Amino acid sequence: MTIKRTSQSAGTPPSASAPAAAPSKAAPKSPVALRAANSDAIPFGGSFKQSIETVAMERAREAVARGTATPAQVGMVNAMGGARFAGRNVSRIREAGEGAQQVVEKNPKITVWTKENRVRSGDQTTVVELPREVVLTPEGVKVMLVHVSGEKPIATVQGHAPFAEHPNVPSDAFVQSQAAHTLASFLGKLEGMKLDLASVYKDRSDFNGVIRVFVNAMDILNAAYVPGKNIYFFGNHKGTFPLAADKDTVVHEASHGLLEHLAPGLVRDGGEGGAWHEAFGDLMACLYHRNPGLGEDLGTFLVQQGEAPEELRGGIRRVDNKQALDPEVTEVHDRGLPYSGLMWSVAGKLAQMLGNEEQAADIMMGAIVKANLYLTTKSPTSSDIVRSLAEGMRAHLAKHAPQAAQPLIAAMLEEARARHMLEVAETPALAPKAQAANGDDVVKLLKQVPQIADRKDIAFEILADRVFDNVRKVTVRPVITNASGTLRLPVDDAAVTAVIEDGQVFAMDVSTLKIPPKYNLENGLPELTKGVEVAKQIIQRDLLEAASQGSEGAIRILEAFDTLFAEANIQAEWVISRGRICVVLSTLAGDFVVDVQAGKVWPRGALTFESRHRHITAKH
């Protein structure tokens, strides 16, 4: 277990006085019984659990390589005997003629479909070059910040015909290289706009900054994402439609992770965050591929399978829509359509002004991404989202289409009102407050706040410092310390976000800055290991209760609970949350804040399953 120990003193765990992990009163059904009883539940494929175990193995293997592995991780790696790794036969790499476990290819060419996504055009394919150097290992393809793994090892990305194994079934190696190409190209486009990828994707996890993708990971038409870990799982519907080879799907899912890094917590704290997440993913995919249909090939496949109506051939969703926000519409994908329709319309207006559709699409991609730096609340209203879009357009168009900025923003605000998105008449201007260059300057400003200036027991730590050209977004949180500074107790729910533009603080959200009373840390903190065990019991109890009510996500996490919450796969720390000392568990299923004394748990970035495919088919 990788644990951030703040004290060696053994104390009574906060859970000692409360039976926090007691089961719920109603005896829950087993996950297997639940699936049998729920006809709408998607069957759980064993390959998903294997993919989770693959993640655990990769974490263990890299920890061993760094010399930071726990005994459990060392044992996990040794148990593989070096012959096989996470179900993949390493010797097959050598048999393929590579002669080593790692091969580096500079600007290799790979085979992709001629169409945007999966449909072939007269059985013809085209060959493209990856934008970066590619490293091939037994664990998968690595390029840029992307690490893609599949069911089988890949010896080379060159020459992989899409249907080498069966005329209708793409090869696993091809799907890996297709996903690597899509992600690397998408990230390369953003990097070319001066988005600092390293600052955006810097995490507090063992795999800092690496986007890890597992293709053909589930036997379903679905995808899963672990916020804060950059981990994605893509399914393979009926063994013939691998979602990781569908470019719209890959960019949409990757955009969820991008937005989670730019504006964390939107989908967990209510408001319009979930709707904006879906709209942002749709916009990124459609602007990047220059057409308004999302998942045309997926829709066509579903129509051919008799699982969707004929109109879905044009895409499972479309951003060229006229929809307005409707209080009766609560499903996040449907509720996101007005936002995606708004910004696609704005992109069209910009194209008319510039006379260049491709240039307009690129500029709007940059403006929409940059807008998320101005979104500082976790519970945004529709007005908050529109305001951030206006600021993103102002900042980005000033550099790339200055003549269009003012009229285009005015047109956007007018259309937003028509779509019932603006609750107030005007978007207030945010005047700069102080000079600042980076996160350290933000900390200095916070220390000048009167309620903090007199507190010698409060320090600050920088959680994130994301940079997009001349705009940066810094997030810091207060930390309670003892007199010597040897003990640190972060205040988990009091993070402060500041937006710095051209060296000045453009905005600083201090609404969450809640300074707790002084804590006596001189006697140390309770034993963290005991707190972790109780926290796991509480999480499992709540998962069982949710599963008994038919929650698909809870069922899936329970199926792989032993792996997701294995000792080797957990990071933990004591924090102050909601005014109480809690345990934060960082697991393969996401992060959880657990009050072990009160027996309560709050998911903070839990494993998220993309349900839009089920929604589409079930809806019709």
| Domain coverage including residue 226 | 89-245
pLDDT surpassing 60 at residue 88: no
532 and 471 in a single domain? The answer is no
The two three-digit tokens of residue 530, written as one number: 């005991």
Residues 24 and 168 in one domain: no
Q: Is residue 191 part of a domain?
A: yes
Model confidence pLDDT, tens digit, residues 212-263: 999 998 787 888 887 777 889 999 888 888 999 899 999 999 999 999 999 9
110 and 221, same domain (yes or no): yes
- pLDDT per residue over 413-425, tens digit each? 999 999 999 875 4
Residue 613 lies in a domain: yes
Could you read off the pLDDT of 137-157 as tens digits, one per residue?
877 899 989 999 988 878 888
Q: Is residue 61 part of a domain?
A: no
Is the pLDDT confidence value at 44 over 50? no
Q: How far is CA 300 from CA 304, 502, 616, in A?
A: 6, 47, 13
Three-state secondary structure call for residue 543: helix
How does the average pLDDT of the chain come out, rounded? 81
Model pLDDT for residues 346-365, shown as the tens digit of each residue: 999 999 999 999 999 999 99
In this structure, the answer to whether residues 403 and 473 fall within a common structural domain is no
CA distances from 252 to 35, 64, 186, 259, 333 (A): 28, 33, 11, 11, 12
| C-beta neighbour count of 496 within 10 angstroms | 23
Q: 382-400 vs 402-418: helix axis angle to the nearest 10?
A: 160
What SS3 state is found at 142? Answer: strand
Residue 609: the pLDDT is 65
Identify each DSSP E strand in 60-210 by its residue range: 84-85, 88-89, 103-105, 109-113, 125-129, 134-137, 140-143, 146-149
- Assess whether 302 and 405 both reside in one domain: yes
Q: Of the spans 207-211, 428-432, 558-562, which averages the highest pLDDT?
A: 558-562
d(CA 437, CA 505): 8
Co-location of 386 and 458 in the same domain:
no
Rounded to whole angstroms, how far apart are CA atoms 256 and 242?
A: 19
Residue matched to tokens 């015909």 = 161
User: Mean pLDDT, to the nearest integer, of 156-164?
Assistant: 79
Residues ≥6 apart with Cβ < 8 Å to 7 = 487, 524, 525
Alpha carbons 55 and 213: distance in angstroms, whole number: 10
Pick from 100-114, 378-392, 467-481: least confident: 100-114
Same domain, 163 and 214: yes
Confidence check: pLDDT of 19 > 80: no
Structural contact between residues 6 and 574, judged by C-beta atoms closer than 8 angstroms: yes
Q: What confidence score (pLDDT) does residue 205 get?
A: 61
Is the separation of the CB atoms in 250 and 183 below 8 Å?
yes
Helix and strand numbers (H, E) in the chain are 19, 25
Pairing of strands 125-129, 231-237: unpaired
Residues 241 and 99 in one domain: yes
Q: Is 42 a domain residue? A: no
Domain check: are 447 and 498 in the same one?
A: yes
Q: How many domains does the chain have?
A: 4
Say if 54 falls within a structural domain. Answer: no
Q: What is the pLDDT of residue 618?
A: 26
Residue 45: pLDDT over 60: no
Q: What is Dmax (Cα atoms) for the chain?
A: 73
pLDDT at 58: 73
Q: How long is the chain? A: 620
Residues 297, 382, single domain; the answer is: yes
Domain boundary among 450, 475, 509: 509
Residue 48 has pLDDT above 80, yes or no: no
